[in-house]
Amino acid sequence: MSTRIKHLFSDTHLLTIWGIFVITLLIMAFLKPGDYFTFMNVKSIIYQFPEYGILAFGMMACMVAGGIDLSLVGIMNFTGVITALIVKNMAGTEVTGSTYLIIAFACVVAIVLGGLCGAFNGFIIGYFKIPAMLVTLCGLQLYTGLAYGITGGPAINGMVDPFKNIANGTIGEIPYVLFIFIFVLLIVAFVMKCTVLGNEIYFMGSNASAAKYSGMNILKITVITHMFSGILGGVSGILITSHLNSGKSSNGSTYTLLTLLIAVLGGVHPDGGKGRVIGVCTATILLQFIANAFGLLHMDDNAKTFANGCLLVAALLFDVYLDRKAEKRARLKAAAENENS
């Protein structure tokens, strides 16, 4: 246990996140202590971050594998629109005996559809050897276009109350979505750390050529990784549709940059092979606290976007610095070993 704790506190990305967290809390303690440090404000924060935090886990899995998934927002909105259609047309507006069964069916459809979208991305990437950035960027446009084509532009509103309660209901004073987020977090952590697939994702991201010559099925791993990411996109589609009571092709339009920022800030290496679930989780919560601070200070959304962009550039530069520092340390160690021999 002590070794794990020592490793946790030696993670420079986590230390950086916690440092930014402390600075944010100190600034808000000075500027808005009466509004920021309240249970209602924390509750508001909890309602916001699960939908894009779950997307960030999908982004993390694909980046650790040496790729990227820019189609997640498109998958989220496509599955959200399908979910809204099923719930509105089959469940209506009145709660009946079959309402919960219909909602469960709609959620299963969204998750399966998200997985299929992700698997399609992964197959195109792995079979045709097309860069993940290009494929998933095209996927973003494809799935967003499908969502727009289904709705014709206007949002699908007016879902039945039990569906809205998925993302807006509470157990006591604690929002349901917090438990959903924790459940997804545990699944992602288990997959990435305790399964053969997780080990293969890290190995493939570290050295795809070595993974291939070691006998790993690169196509299969790529398809499953993107399918896993797509499933998480489907879960986010359910949450955002429930949260907004609206299925629309343009929901969460800023989430692509946000999930990429969360992944990089959380310690996922842009070249793959490195990244921890706890880092992504902590970065998700940090950025929502920062976004909430911007809201309480009545700052423009453009200022928040600018701040997120600056954080992303800083995180990328920080990764470059750490890489060069590690290379220098390795060279010095090799030189010292040569001298001793």
CATH number at residue 269: 1.10.3470
Q: Which two tokens stand for residue 114?
A: 């998200």
Total domains, the chain: 1
Measured distance CA(132)–CA(130) in Å, rounded: 6
Task: Report the predicted TM-score, pTM, of the whole model to 2 decimal places.
Answer: 0.92
- Give how far the C-alpha of residue 258 lies from the chain's centroid of Cα atoms, to the nearest Å: 9
The answer as to whether 166 is a domain residue is: yes
The answer as to whether 5 is a domain residue is: no
The answer as to whether 6 is a domain residue is: no
The answer as to whether 25 is a domain residue is: no
pLDDT at 119: 98
Amino acid at 226: H
**Which residues in the chain show pLDDT less than 50?**
1
The answer as to whether 160 is a domain residue is: yes
211-240 confidence digits (pLDDT tens):
989 999 999 999 999 999 999 999 999 999
Nearest by Cα to 315 from 252, 261, 255:
261
23-82 confidence digits (pLDDT tens):
999 999 999 888 999 999 999 999 999 999 999 999 999 999 999 999 999 999 999 999
The answer as to whether 341 is a domain residue is: no
**What is the span of the domain harbouring residue 190?**
43-318
CA distances from 261 to 22, 137, 184 (A): 19, 17, 20
The answer as to whether 17 is a domain residue is: no
Amino acid at 133: M
The answer as to whether 340 is a domain residue is: no
pLDDT at 108: 97
CA distances from 98 to 101, 235, 336 (A): 5, 22, 72
Measured distance CA(201)–CA(221) in Å, rounded: 7
pLDDT at 5: 55
